[in-house]
Structure 1
Amino acid sequence: MKLEPQVTGNIGMYYACYMLSRMGWNVMPTARNARGIDIIAYNKTGTEFIGVQVKTLTKRNPVPLGTSLEKVMGDYWLIINNVSAEPVSFVLVPEEVKSLAHRGEKDGRVSFWLQPSAYDTPDFKEAWHRIGFGHGAS
């Protein structure tokens, strides 16, 4: 079954919310049509906040980053693929996304992509520990 892009995005975002909640974070998805941060999470004492961008894919594909890397923001980036079967997650920070981005140019138009070989590595795969736990003070 082919999923609509919005449904695919929702699966990834809510999966990320589920995983972060299991780690002790209080999680709030942002407005779905807003650009930028997809999830805001805070610890139980309200002393630590994180902003998360989520990119969701149905399979192991390149992640489109747009025409500029200025939109790469937040504290963490989650790439979640294979969402229609068994989700696989990759946890990166924005600096890693920017440094690993591939710059493409076609017909004079520039675009940036994160290739699977760049994000699908043991350092990032299921590396939820990189985010830390949302319980207690930081």
Structure 2
Amino acid sequence: MKINKQLSGIAGEYYVAAEITRRGYLAAITLRNSDGVDIIASNIEGDTLFSIQVKTTQNKRKWILSQKVENETSEKKFFVFVNIPTDIAIQPEYFIVNSKVLASNIYEGHRRWLCQNGKNGKVRNDSSVRQFEPRWFKDEEILSWDQLFELL
């Protein structure tokens, strides 16, 4: 079942919060108008804090980002890309990337894209649109939930 974009985004945040909580951490979803952080998470003791930016799609493995993602510098911030299948019997898919790794790869990938010719051999124009696709990342750059919590 396909749901609208707003509900999809909300569902993605709650799926991620649930996964964090399942692993014994606290997860607080921020207000809808918070820029850059969707979830603030901590261990029970409160001495390990990290933040999450959630990006959600339905039935595809491509996420649109803005240019500002290239300026991410926090070691304690992670992006979780959620793919929610339209078949509700299938669980969501997660791709977890440290913000610094994402920033570097998106920056370099966009520069490579600009150097290539577009349709009909035309020079590409720069834009503020960026895209995350897991296939362009090394396996070790995309974390599992267990790997994320080992890093903390």
TM-score, with length taken from structure 1 = 0.80
How many pairs are equivalent? 133
Q: Distance in 2 between matches of 1:13 and 1:83?
A: 15
Aligned to 2:94: 89
Asked if the contact 1:30/1:37 (under 8 Å) is kept, the reply is: yes
- The 5 A counterparts of 1:44-59 are 44-59=44-59
> Aligned in 2, Cα 1:70/1:108: closer, same or farther, shift over 3 Å?
closer
Higher strand share: 1
CA RMSD of aligned residues (A): 2.6
Instruction: For residue 71 of structure 1, report the CA deviation from its aligned partner.
Output: 6.1
Percent identical residues = 23
Instruction: For residue 123 of structure 1, report the CA deviation from its aligned partner.
Output: 5.6
Instruction: For residue 26 of structure 1, report the CA deviation from its aligned partner.
Output: 0.8
Tell me which of the two structures has the higher relative contact order, counting C-alpha pairs closer than 8 angstroms and 6 or more residues apart.
Answer: 1
Aligned to 2:3: 3
- The 5 A counterparts of 1:8-47 are 8-47=8-47
The amino acid that maps onto 1:131 is: L
Mean Cα deviation higher: 29-38 or 82-91: 82-91
> Aligned in 2, Cα 1:83/1:37: closer, same or farther, shift over 3 Å?
farther
Q: Which SS does the other structure have where 2:149 is aligned?
A: coil
Aligned to 2:147: 130
Q: Distance in 1 between matches of 2:39 and 2:128?
A: 28
Gaps of 5+ in 1: none
The amino acid that maps onto 1:15 is: Y
Gaps of 5+ in 2: 115-123
- The 5 A counterparts of 1:81-120 are 81-84=83-86, 85=88, 86-101=91-106, 102-103=109-110, 108-119=126-137
> Aligned in 2, Cα 1:131/1:78: closer, same or farther, shift over 3 Å?
same
Asked if the contact 1:8/1:58 (under 8 Å) is kept, the reply is: yes
Asked if the contact 1:90/1:120 (under 8 Å) is kept, the reply is: no
> Aligned in 2, Cα 1:99/1:40: closer, same or farther, shift over 3 Å?
same
* Higher Rg of the two aligned structures: 2
